Amino acid sequence: MAPPDPFYRYRVELEAELLSAIGHDPLHFYTIMRYHMGWVDEHGRPREASGGKHLRPTLCLLACEAVGGDWHKALPGAAALEVVHNFTLIHDDVQDKSSQRRHRPTVWTLWGTAQAINAGDGMWALAQLALLRLRDKGVPSDKMIRASRILAEACLKLCEGQYLDISFESRPDIEEEEYLRMIDAKTAQLFDSSVSLGAIVGTDDEQLVSQLGIFGRQLGLAFQIHDDLLGIWGTQKATGKSAYTDIREKKKTLPILCALKQATGEKRERLASLYQKGSAPFTAEEVAEIVCILDNVGARDYTEEFKRRYYSQALEELDKMDIPSPQAKELREIAAYILT
């Protein structure tokens, strides 16, 4: 499925704004950031391929356009969102010990944990500075301050979600409600912030801002559950990571919680004992055994149903909004694209 038109319509100016946000300082500290963004190789040499789909900034710009605003004015906010997202990815790779990101070695595998943390922290600061450029675009100060608050609160929620995600690894008794709270903080909050920030730049209609935020939040929940499916059943070509990544990292994602809940007898005892194994990595045989249990209890279909539920709720919210049909259609297309 080809990316919808907004991914192309905004891309050139969004990339330029992102380059301005991170800058061209020759200090290798910034080269690490540019490497992570996909602009250069590990030696600092330019490369053609860019990193990521820029999903969150695209939603931000389209939300601004959908409420009748000039999307160009929201570019600094869109760039800030993308820089924040990427700072969390650098730290996430460290915490998960992930060796691949977008089919390339992760920052920490090339430059070490300490420098990866340092680069991520630097990107967080650059995101705050990027947001200040809203004033240069003619955005009123009160809206700029509100956007800054939205982004800071999203960052805090992301950290809360990551804390919960990591804490789940050592707990055998995770409930679905806890899992949903975790992904709401870790993923859905930034989706909410992305469309809300764009809408705030584009309109004074608080009802539209609120409705778009709800749309973004439901879409973010569906997106994370879709990511959980890819983390077990996705291919390396699709994800840039090896197959069964979430199992190898002992993530207690929704399919695993489903299996722990639905499996009975020896299967449930075996699955529970594997996930209480401690820090020792799963063998290939154990990974295959876990996948077999997931398949036997219908964990994949169960998780797909959760994804469809939140996706439907996002579209229902979109249908309530008083926005032009071309932009509503594009928001719907983006929602469908990111969940395939």
Residues of the chain with pLDDT under 70: 49-51, 235-243, 278-279
Does residue 25 lie within any of the structural domains? Answer: yes
Which helix or strand (DSSP H or E) is residue 104 part of? strand 104-105
Does residue 147 lie within any of the structural domains? Answer: yes
Overall size of the chain counted in residues: 340
Domain span at residue 280 reads: 6-338
Which tens digit of pLDDT belongs to each residue from 168-213?
988 878 999 999 999 999 999 999 999 999 999 999 999 999 999 9
CATH code for position 152: 1.10.600.10
Alpha carbon distance 272, 261 (integer Å): 10
Closest CA to 145 of 67, 209, 201: 201
Closest CA to 327 of 168, 208, 222: 208
Alpha carbon distance 186, 88 (integer Å): 10
Does residue 151 lie within any of the structural domains? Answer: yes
CA end-to-end distance (rounded Å), the chain: 8
Alpha carbon distance 138, 191 (integer Å): 24
Pairing of β 100-101 and β 104-105: antiparallel
Q: Does residue 248 contact residue 281 with C-beta atoms inside 8 Å?
A: yes
**What pLDDT is stored for residue 239 in this prediction?**
54
Angle of CA points 150, 152, 158, to nearest 5° = 100
Q: Which tokens is 227 given?
A: 């990511």
* CB atoms closer than 10 angstroms to residue 249: 17
- Burial annotation 109-147 (CB, 10 A radius, 16+ → b, else e): bebeeebbbbbbebbbebbeebbebbeeeebeeebbebb
Does residue 1 lie within any of the structural domains? Answer: no
Task: Give the helix, strand, coil percentages of the chain, each rounded to 5.
Answer: 75, 0, 25
Alpha carbon distance 225, 262 (integer Å): 18
* 250 Cβ neighbours under 8 A, 6+ residues apart: 169, 275, 282
**What pLDDT is stored for residue 50 in this prediction?**
62
Query: What is the DSSP code string of 187-247?
Result: IIHHHHHHHHHHHHHH---HHHHHHHHHHHHHHHHHHHHHHHHHHHH--HHHHSS-TTHHH
What predicted TM-score, i.e. pTM, was given to this entire model?
Answer: 0.94
- 3-class SS of residue 248: helix
CA dist 277 → 25, 135, 176, 282 (Å): 46, 53, 22, 9
**What pLDDT is stored for residue 159 in this prediction?**
95
Q: Does residue 314 contact residue 294 with C-beta atoms inside 8 Å?
A: no
CA dist 1 → 52, 59, 94, 331 (Å): 16, 18, 31, 15
* CB atoms closer than 10 angstroms to residue 340: 6
- What's the total number of domains in the chain? 1
Alpha carbon distance 116, 330 (integer Å): 36
* 245 Cβ neighbours under 8 A, 6+ residues apart: 98, 231, 232, 234, 239
